[in-house]
Amino acid sequence: MEFKENSSETKPFVHLHVHTEYSLLDGSAKIKELVLRAKELGMDSIAITDHGAMYGAIEFYKEALAAGIKPIIGCEVYVAPESRLMKDAKNGGNYHLVLLAENDEGYQNLIKLVSYGFIDGFYYKPRIDKELLRKHHKGLIASSACIAGEVARNILNVSYEKAKEAALEYLDIFGKGNYFLELQDHGMREQKQVNMALIRMSEETGIPLIATNDSHYIYKEDAEPHDILLCIQTAKTILDEDRMRYEGGQFYVKSPEEMYDLFSNVPEALENTAKIAERCNVSFQFHELKLPQFDVPQGKTANQYLREVCEAGFQEKYPEGKKEWKERLEYELSTIENMGYVDYFLIVWDFIKYAKDNGIIVGPGRGSAAGSMVSYCLSITTIDPLKYDLIFERF
């Protein structure tokens, strides 16, 4: 599907910092309603950037395309101040960073980063670090995020020069044109202070600006129920004074006109959002088999290697080697090859073999898999399908 440039000729703007219901207990925007709201506002693109995870990416992609909206896949990740492997209170709080997939390579890098955040870096939150960003930055567009971002926090708590140093480091990681300083204005005093510094920083470094509205709900009137959602997250009541809250009721999906009113002094920051949206083109292919590639010995194909291992198992388990048995094995192997499941069988064979070689208990096989002679010859199962007259077709 092709997408035209932003439909508003006079006010090009795209929301690039958006949280859905998949920012669990923090965002309340349902994806279908979010997409419909973007369409109502005359927008032809919108991003989702849920906190630390991408649970809603596929649902969002499908709903957006169905509505004629260009989906921009992103994530607001948590960046550890030092190493993601340091897991103690002394490591300090995490920094926020918005990442958007510019292309399919960027999407692959984004899902790797998010996965590493859970697998290696999880400490209260799924965290990554700059080491990972340097390894997996290709195809990604980044922005400095909200006042919880590293640049903004340094502006507020350390110094302008330290903030500028952090911004230049991110610029070095992502490359010129792929890192942006993010302006936000929800009526908070700290944001106004940060925005003034970011505009100055942009002038001094050449790092371009974008303006976003850190939306956690869709409509302005959703602020109160969203506040209740935050109470559930933090185990507080609405009567508790000392609790997390989003003050001012401004964290909704604003219209381009509202955004231009807020940032009339820096229209280029709004225009840049539309330029980024034009650059972001990720496509998903559904109903296609997607399997990891099994690494086979040099000089062999996966088909050849599967046959080699199967034939060795066949000689061990069927020393008589009757013709009709060999024909059954050939039939199964040909079917597996034609259906594209060779790598799948090799992967299962590999981890079952590892388990048995290392004293890990493995069952005899379950369900229809026991009907496969290939499974038996690979020792994935220990039930002879010929002895029990089990048919491969059921598998």
pLDDT digit string, tens, across residues 177-210: 999 999 999 999 999 999 999 999 999 999 999 9
Phi-psi region of 177 (alpha: psi -120 to 50; beta: other; left: phi over 0): left
- For residues 229 and 46, give the distance between their C-alpha atoms in angstroms, rounded to a whole number: 24
pLDDT value at position 395? 83
pLDDT digit string, tens, across residues 80-109: 999 999 988 666 689 999 999 999 999 999
- 392, 332 Cβ separation under 8 angstroms: yes
DSSP string for residues in 18-77 = B--TTSTTT----HHHHHHHHHHTT-SEEEEEEES--TTHHHHHHHHHHTT-EEEEEEEE
pLDDT value at position 11? 86
pLDDT value at position 2? 52
Q: Which of 261, 213, 280, 283 is nearest to 44 (CA)?
A: 280
pLDDT value at position 91? 60
pLDDT value at position 8? 42
Q: Where are the alpha helices (DSSP H) in the chain?
A: 31-40, 57-66, 104-119, 130-135, 150-157, 160-174, 189-205, 223-234, 256-262, 267-279, 302-317, 323-339, 342-357, 373-377
Task: Give me the amino acid identity at 140.
Answer: L
pLDDT value at position 366? 82
pLDDT value at position 159? 98
Can you read off the two tokens belonging to residue 10? 């006079």
Walk me through the domains of the chain, giving residue ranges and CATH numbers: 31-279 (3.20.20.140), 302-394 (no CATH)
pLDDT value at position 90? 66
Which residue ranges in the chain fall short of pLDDT 70? Answer: 1-10, 89-92
- For residues 47 and 57, give the distance between their C-alpha atoms in angstroms, rounded to a whole number: 10
pLDDT value at position 3? 52
pLDDT value at position 56? 97
pLDDT value at position 365? 87
Can you read off the two tokens belonging to residue 21? 């219901």
